[in-house]
Amino acid sequence: MYREFVEELPIIEEPEIFGMHDNANIAFQMKETKNVIQTIMEVQPREGGSSEGKSPDELVLEQCDSVIERIKTKIDKDNAHPSLLEKDAKGRLPSLTTVLMQETDRFNKVLLNIHTSLESLKKAIRGFIVMNDELEEVYNSFLNNQVPKLWSAKCYPSLKSLGSWIKDLALRIDFIAVWLNHGPPVSFWISGFFFPQGFMTGCLQTHARRHDIAIDTLKIDFQMTNVVLSQEEIELAHRKAGGEEVSLYLSIYK
């Protein structure tokens, strides 16, 4: 009797038994699928995998050179636009300038990490230095079109593959560099920030200083619209508002 009861129990328990939501099971299955695919990709043969007859070493070296060419080595803060350094009557720099400098420091650490690891990987492939575990992980990630953990661990969250990740990083770097070299933009690409929360706090601080009120009494408000504004329309709205409003660029995926 007891044996029949036990045999009728499900092999995989439902998440409700442990007081968890159904989404927990979905997240678990996605993680398991990712691990299986990752394992399959790692055991695939590396030799002779290219249609052009290139070895894995040649493919990785080409990718290293491509990334080095596309990604800047550093965002130079010495070229900051004069308007960013104008202090108010109390001798304070603009809050958004502080946000910009913090973003620049964060991205520069990422750039240093990327370029240092790529130069080391190129030397290791050519036999000048020892291929350690970190470099081997970068090597295998390149072959699997994945972002190396050595990079993602010190960067902003992202689910993109390697190619899309590099393209996105280049756009983020350009956004910060243009802001730094030419002054504050009319609208801000909120998805391009390393730490968007810092930008939102900077907006509150800017308004609090301008109207001499406590920042704790402020909050971010927004309105969803069903229209798309061109850059010219955004600039016109910005001039009419007298700089009181900040336009945000949001990417929404279904």
Indicate if the alpha-carbon torsion angle 70, 71, 77, 80 is positive or negative.
positive
Q: In whole angstroms, what is the distance from residue 124 CA to residue 112 CA?
A: 18
**pLDDT number for residue 232:** 62
List the chain domain ranges: 56-219+229-248
Please identify, in words, the CATH class of the domain defined by 56-219+229-248.
mainly alpha
The count of other CB atoms within 10 Å of the CB of residue 247 is: 18
**pLDDT number for residue 252:** 47
**pLDDT number for residue 89:** 84
Q: What is the pLDDT along the chain (254 residues), one digit of tens a residue?
A: 778 887 887 777 777 777 887 788 888 888 888 778 777 766 666 555 555 678 889 999 999 999 999 999 999 999 899 999 988 888 889 999 999 999 999 999 999 999 999 999 999 999 999 999 999 999 999 998 899 999 999 999 998 999 999 999 999 999 999 999 999 888 888 889 999 999 999 989 988 988 889 988 988 877 766 666 665 665 555 544 434 344 455 544 44
pTM of the predicted model, to two decimals?
A: 0.76
